[in-house]
């Protein structure tokens, strides 16, 4: 049986002029396997539907009295698709990783710092593999800027992000 949905009310953030996206992503990253997220907002959060769909969530939205919205995001029972950097060529053919990092116990930005340092030690074409407690959205542009490729996704429990980084040419 799945745990009860986690509730997140972002209406106070929105009413004060704030941006709730980070709070929503932190709530999503804190969900247990199979757990849904019940979100309360001052408007129908249409742009969020695509973001959540890419993370494996379906949604049901309903308007509340007074014009506010309640959205229930429920995890789909599918394996998360592998995301890849724009320049990643045939990740299935990459060599086995020469370095493995378990960074699940570290708080940001330490995982990003360690991955970037490890990637710089690799020879061009070598691969490192890392486990993270959240999707490293700020790492992706840093890898691209340094000429590295990446491929990754969440594991089946959606609690660990797995990433392969292939070292680019030394510049």
Please provide the DSSP assignment of 33-92 as one string: TT--EEEEESS--HHHHHHHHHTTEEEEEEEPGGG-EEEEEEE-SSPPPPEE-TT---GG
Q: Could you give the 3-state DSSP secondary structure of residue 102?
A: strand
pLDDT at 79: 59
pLDDT of amino acid 171: 63
Mean pLDDT (whole number) for 81-95: 87
- Same CATH fold assignment for domains 6-75 and 83-166: yes
Tokens of 32: 């247990």
Give the helix/strand (H/E) hosting 129. Answer: strand 127-132
- Closest C-alpha among 145, 144, 137, 97 to residue 118: 97
Per-domain residue ranges of the chain = 6-75, 83-166
For 162, the enclosing helix (H) or strand (E) is: strand 161-166
**Residue 124, token pair as written in the block:** 């061009």
Interval 38-59 mean pLDDT: 92
Q: Which of the four pLDDT bands, split at 50, 70 and 90, describes residue 88?
A: confident
Classify domain 83-166 at the CATH superfamily level.
TusA-like domain (3.30.110.40)
Helix (H, G, I), strand (E, B) or coil at 119: helix
Dump pLDDT digits (tens) for 133-151.
999 999 999 999 999 999 9
- Predicted structure pTM score: 0.56
- Highest CATH level, class, for 6-75: alpha beta
- For 93-139, what is each residue's pLDDT tens digit? 899 999 999 999 999 999 999 999 999 999 999 999 999 999 999 99
């Amino acid at each position: 049986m799945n745990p009860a949905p986690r509730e997140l009310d972002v209406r106070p953030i929105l009413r004060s002029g704030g941006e709730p996206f980070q709070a929503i992503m932190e709530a999503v990253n804190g969900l247990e396997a199979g757990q849904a997220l019940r979100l309360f907002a001052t408007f129908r959060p249409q742009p969020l539907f695509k973001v959540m769909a890419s993370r494996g969530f379906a949604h049901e939205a309903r308007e509340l009295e007074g014009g506010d919205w309640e959205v229930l995001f429920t995890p789909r029972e599918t394996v998360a698709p592998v995301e890849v950097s724009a320049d990643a060529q045939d990740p299935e053919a990459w060599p086995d990783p020469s370095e493995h990092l378990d960074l699940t116990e570290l708080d940001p930005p330490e995982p990003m710092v360690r991955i970037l340092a490890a990637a710089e030690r690799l020879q061009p074409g070598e691969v490192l593999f890392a486990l993270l407690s959240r999707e490293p959205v700020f790492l992706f542009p840093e890898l691209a800027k340094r000429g590295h490729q990446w491929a990754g996704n969440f594991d089946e429990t959606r609690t660990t992000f797995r990433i392969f980084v292939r070292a680019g040419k030394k510049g």
